[in-house]
């Protein structure tokens, strides 16, 4: 089984951590979708990573779909609760963390353009999404040890990967100010072997 991705992608990291935590072996295929000649579109018509190639004719893409496929393999620990409403809550929090990553990526790409071509409107809009998203996660994190229930879930993993990405790209560098519950959660996550082993390389 091959995971097509890059070491700096928070979506790829989420999937890598799930596989590592469950002890599922895989081959990592390093693919930068932004480089000319990238093979990402061979696995996902959208040309995005991650993609999980289970065999030549079974390829899964979009990280929430890949996460569901991994869970369906039945390997413990489970990162999506069995109870349907709990599962929905976890998936919504995953979508929130992923959405913050998407907004952060738009900020990063916009800031790569020449200053005179950058849209202040786009940057403000995306920064607001990041801040509102972080506030919502802080509120949830303050309610318990994990974002949902008594156990680590996909919501926590996605949130840890999201914060790792903000740190890497210096987006919202003050994310930890006035968000003590999120800080506590992330510190706990970053101590895990799976997080330590997937820390993105600093550019």
Ligand X SMILES: N[C@@H](CCC(=O)N[C@@H](CS)C(=O)NCC(=O)O)C(=O)O
Interface ranges with ligand X (CB under 6 A): 9, 11, 33, 47-50, 62-63, 98
CB of 86 to ligand X, least distance (A): 21
In the bound state with ligand X, the residue whose beta carbon lies nearer, of 47 and 149, is: 47
CB of 6 to ligand X, least distance (A): 7
In the bound state with ligand X, the residue whose beta carbon lies nearer, of 50 and 133, is: 50
CB of 12 to ligand X, least distance (A): 7
In the bound state with ligand X, the residue whose beta carbon lies nearer, of 21 and 94, is: 94
List C-alpha distances in Å: 113 to 32, 107, 184: 19, 10, 35
CB of 33 to ligand X, least distance (A): 4
Q: Is 74 left (phi over 0), alpha (psi -120 to 50) or beta?
A: left
Q: Which long-range contacts (CB under 8 A, 24 or more apart) does 68-73 make?
A: 70/15, 70/18, 70/19, 70/22, 70/24, 73/22, 73/24
Beta strand 27-30 with 58-61: parallel, antiparallel or unpaired?
A: unpaired
In the bound state with ligand X, the residue whose beta carbon lies nearer, of 101 and 179, is: 101
CB of 35 to ligand X, least distance (A): 10
In the bound state with ligand X, the residue whose beta carbon lies nearer, of 102 and 131, is: 102
* Calpha distance 26→179 (Å, rounded): 36
Q: What share of the chain is helix, strand, coil (3-state, %, to 5)?
A: 55, 10, 35
Give me the residues paired with residue 52 across strands.
3, 60
């Amino acid at each position: 089984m091959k995971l097509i991705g890059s070491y700096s992608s928070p979506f790829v990291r989420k999937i890598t951590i799930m596989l590592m935590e469950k002890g599922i072996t895989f081959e990592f295929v390093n693919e930068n979708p932004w480089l000319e000649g990238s093979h990402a579109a061979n696995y996902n018509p959208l040309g995005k990573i991650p993609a999980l190639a289970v065999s030549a004719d079974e390829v899964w893409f979009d990280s929430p779909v890949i996460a569901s496929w991994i869970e369906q393999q039945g390997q413990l620990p489970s990162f999506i609760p069995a109870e349907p409403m709990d599962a929905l809550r976890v998936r919504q929090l995953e979508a929130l963390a992923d959405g913050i990553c998407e907004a952060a990526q738009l900020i990063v790409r916009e800031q790569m353009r020449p200053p005179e071509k950058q849209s202040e409107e786009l940057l403000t809009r995306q920064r607001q999404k990041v801040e509102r998203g972080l506030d919502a996660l802080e509120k949830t994190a303050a309610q318990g040890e994990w974002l949902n229930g008594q156990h680590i879930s996909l919501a926590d993993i996605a949130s840890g990967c999201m914060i790792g990405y903000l740190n890497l790209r210096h987006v919202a560098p003050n994310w930890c100010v006035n968000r003590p519950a999120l800080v506590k959660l992330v510190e706990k996550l970053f101590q895990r072997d799976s997080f330590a082993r997937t820390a993105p390389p600093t550019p």
